[in-house]
Structure 1
Amino acid sequence: MSARLRYGLIAGIGVLVSALVLAWVFSAVERRKEEITLPAYGEPTYNPLYALRETLRRDGQKAESRRQLDLADMKLQPGDTVVMLDDPRLLSPPQVSGLLDWVQFGGHLVLQMPGADEELDGDDAGLLEQLGVETSEVPARCLPWRVNGQEEHKEFCSGNRFTVDGSTRVERRWGDGTDATLAWARLRYGTGRIDVLGSTDFLRNGRGEYETGLRDIPHRDLARLVLAPNYGKGTTHLVYEMQMPSLWRTLLKQGWPVWLPLLLALLAWLWARSQRFGALQPSPRGDRRSLLEHVRASGEHLHRYGKSPLLYDAVRQSFLARLRRRAPVAAALVGDAQAQAIADHLQWPLARVQSALQVPPSRDDNALRERIRLLIQMRNQL
């Protein structure tokens, strides 16, 4: 079979297998449409009243979202409404006075009742204290909410309960019915009104038990009832976060996937470079006064530059100096007679003594070391 025919056969088999796989996929896979709710992104992720604002705008109302309460910038008018989610006990005295003055002449304020806090409760200048509203420790219970044509709903299942001491006239109230605790109350203040809610979950973007949010008709009706006093008269200001979180706290809690690896990398780099810490230049070394180091350095210098015979001669002269002191007769001789006398004195073989007294070649390191070793041994035995 030729190569051309073989390649054609392989290509044909590949096309056939691909066709069979495609046929199986189309016969085994069922096509159908499915709607998937994508997670929120953008403003709905940080503005819990985003859905309420858009609902009001679609209903032809003027609504604005604000992160903080800024009375000077808001320029509140008698027909306006302010929905405030944050703790009203965090308001400053000028803000409390400004809000009450505005409500007194026709404003509508919607508050969320906060939980008990020993550090914040009891301030006579506080907004809740001036309205005669106090936090109740009675646990929340679901309240039924019925809308014609809709299934019965349960509202205010979470949040806080409160009481009103009677200093302010209550226009509407909704509570458990068994005691004086309330989940919602509408107070009259001058010509305006203040709604206090134990929970504002039905006003927020869908979450938890209120997953459908304002898409649910009963929730829209309840929100419409809460906003009824000034509905359609002015602007609805939605204040969703009065107290902005600290930048460093936000980075610490939410930015750790970024700063923690960077911190570990920085610590690893510092550890790798730690040997460079200290002075820019090393301290000068002290004077070296070891005689042995000087002798060794001098010997290495002479050997490096081919002056090895000088090293041998220095050791030989040291040996002869001791020989003159210990065996003056042998030291006075020369040549073979001196070698024989040293051999007799040390009881060494004559050839070994003659080898030690003979100058080695200048480039023969082995001979140099061997003869210096013999001279040192002969000197030590004298």
Structure 2
Amino acid sequence: MTARRTALLALALVVLGLGSYYLWSHLERVEETADSGPSPEALANPYLAAARFLRGQGLTVAYSGRSRFWAGLSPGASSVVLLADQRALSPAQVQQLLTWVQRGGRLAVVAHGLWNSQSASGGDLLLDTLRIRKSLSADLPNAPRAPATAQQPDLTYLYLENQTAPVRLGFDPAYHLEDPTDKAVAWANSRIATHLMQLAWGDGVITVLSDGALWRNERIGHYDNAWLLWYLNQDRNVTLVLSTTHEPWYSLLWRYFAQAGVAALALALAWCWHRAVRRGPILPAPDPARRSLAEHLRASATFALRHGGQQRLLQVLRQDLTQHAERHHPGFARLPIAEQWQLLGRLAGQPTAHIAQAMAPGRGNALSRRDFSERVAQLQRIRNAL
């Protein structure tokens, strides 16, 4: 029986070994990479890839959210990429920005407002000053009927000197830039629309783009989009303006109306000083007359009642009564409590129960004014009878 079990066990081990070898020899390893999607940093910053690309090219990149984002930047060594909506810039800020460019600054700005022929404005003071208009490509007279597809995208081509092939850019074909005064010195076009214009402005350069989506995280790696970003900012310290925050009203008031603010503050201080002046003679000091003894006693009792309570006052009266009885009847304090109360009852001519009610310490319960007055009068009668 034991030999049979041993044979079966050996056969099972052989079958298991052969099966394991077969599975191992036919096993195919497959590696899969799971895409977890964009990181939280990329979701919060749609131009994170653009900044990292520029840093990879050896450029210094900084972000700015101030309304005066050009302040503190050296015009000859700085480049600003204005991706935020700049339509909130005031006329003074637009002139300051253009002066910064004129001194050698380099500015790339994304056009946001569409041109309105009725108001003769695009709602963008910077573009209106540059006389650049942005419109829809579909409104052009030679707009094609067949839209661009993924197989045949409508790319924008930028032709450079000494280059045999044009630069291909992925601008949104839905927009078009127009330069009615012919100030542009370079431009890039798609089939029917213009998406990039470059203007010489003093010692600096201004580049106007119909949209900035080609530099977003999901599109900067397409075509030559990243190369254009480097080309416009090469050899410069780059500042990316993703949003602009307005200065608080008090800061603007101090900047543009500092003298008026100082005058208003001085006027307010003078008014406060005028209102604080005493009117009429100063009142004399009150007569330091001594109060009567009754007032002092009443005040002392009120203070003791407020801080010690009714039972504290009654306890003081009981102690005084006990000391008075000891002086007139030596040995009174050494008697038991019951004998003290009986002696007080005989001397005062009152029942022992009344004496016990008056001499027994209270339980801390508040008494009414009437009960408190009667208890005090009862202790006083007992004391007077000794």
**TM category, shorter:** 0.3 to 0.5
TM-score (norm 2): 0.47
TM-score (norm 1): 0.48
